[in-house]
Amino acid sequence: MSLFDVTFLQTDGGLGRVLAGDDAISAIVYQGEPTALLQNGAVIFSSADADNLNITSATADTAPLRFAIDRFFEQVSAPLYLAIVTQESDAAAALETIQNAADGAVRQVLYVGGTFSVANVNTLQAAAASQYALHRGLSVIYAPDSLGTFMLATLPTLVTGSAQYVSVVLGTDYLSSQSQGGATLGTIAKSKVSDCIGWVRQYNVSGTFFDRLGFVGGEDYKNVTMAQLKAIKDKGYIFLRKYTGFSGSFHSDSQTATLGSSDYATIENVRTMDKAQRLVRAALVPELGSPLRLKGGKLSEQTLAKFELLVTNPLTAMVDAQELSEFSVFINPAQNVLSTSTLEIQLGLTPLSVARQITVPIGFQVKASN
């Protein structure tokens, strides 16, 4: 028998500490039946807060929402706003309510539930675009709980669309049949805006869940061939995958539902641009209505230097944080601000690239060569 003693089991997370900055602020819009206590726009900081809103895994109505909440907080500690809708057409109003509650600070939203369709992708795109028009940009992760009449082999392509603010996730935990959506939202929230969520070293999502993988519709990951996985990815969908000889479960990529040739074909490019726009706008808004000094009919050197510094400072901070590779600023001193009362500042951003493929030529040789 052990000696008498008083033993402490040290827990973590009780202080509710969250990541610094606003990049991690997130939301979930759930398509289902409303709970008695949840008001759209409510914010929680832990799974325990979900209990207070009567969001439990004990009932079918709220089990998918609770699963998503729990998987989010397994990945990150961050404010999580909540809303419940009964149909996709209510998404725009839900995003409006959430952003109003968060003062426009929400950066990524998980829409979970309902039956997949390209029409729903476009509806969510329109809802997100309306927030961008208000300078409250966000990325939407669409996690349907049914494929309807589709099967994996017959999914429509997304890479000919124009829904750059929407990504569709189809992976599940096979044993529970629950969506990867919460884990994906949490991964995005904890990552730098420039990171691909498919980064193997950084973003393993397996644990109690997502060791045995599946797909919406019930298909077992183990029964899907590599050729089929490639076809699903090439159509623009995100799922969870395994790598032979390497433990864990990882995102297949970070695609958005738009043209593969688009500058905004990945979540990280959308997030990087959104952050740059937010920071530059915050620097420039105080200058609205300010005087623009001229010399010889052109913008003075002092005016040029002032505005160049205003936009350079936040973008330099992003470069220092390895969220941008580099940037350029150009202000044409000859622009006719007297006639237009409009100052144009041209910015060029160079994002970080992503090692989606690593090629290693390898073979035998007689001796090592320098």
User: How do residues 341-359 score in pLDDT, each as one tens digit?
Assistant: 999 999 999 999 988 888 8
Q: What pLDDT is attached to residue 228?
A: 96
Closest CA to 121 of 184, 66, 71, 164: 164
Q: What pLDDT is attached to residue 6?
A: 54
Q: What pLDDT is attached to residue 95?
A: 94
What the block records as the tokens of 126 is 């329109």
Which regions in the chain score pLDDT beneath 70? 1-20, 35-37, 369-370
CA dist 326 and 200 (Å) reads: 25
Q: Are the C-beta atoms of residues 164 and 256 closer than 8 Å to each other?
A: yes
Q: What pLDDT is attached to residue 364?
A: 79
Helix ranges (H only) for 46-116 are 47-52, 63-75, 91-101
Provide the pairing of β-strand 178-179 with 171-173.
antiparallel
Q: What pLDDT is attached to residue 365?
A: 86
Q: What pLDDT is attached to residue 355?
A: 85
Q: What is the CA radius of gyration of the chain?
A: 24
Q: Are the C-beta atoms of residues 203 and 250 closer than 8 Å to each other?
A: yes
What the block records as the tokens of 19 is 């990541």
Q: Other CB atoms closer than 10 Å to residue 118's CB: what's the count?
A: 15
Q: Which residues pair with 299 in a beta bridge?
A: 294
Q: What pLDDT is attached to residue 370?
A: 60
Distances (CA, A) of 163 to 96, 129, 288: 18, 9, 32
Q: What pLDDT is attached to residue 11?
A: 47
Distances (CA, A) of 328 to 324, 347, 362: 11, 6, 40
Q: What pLDDT is attached to residue 21?
A: 74
CA dist 15 and 275 (Å) reads: 28
First to last CA, the chain: 65
Name the burial class of residue 131, with classes exposed (0-12), middle (13-18) and buried (19+) by CB atoms within 10 angstroms of its CB: buried
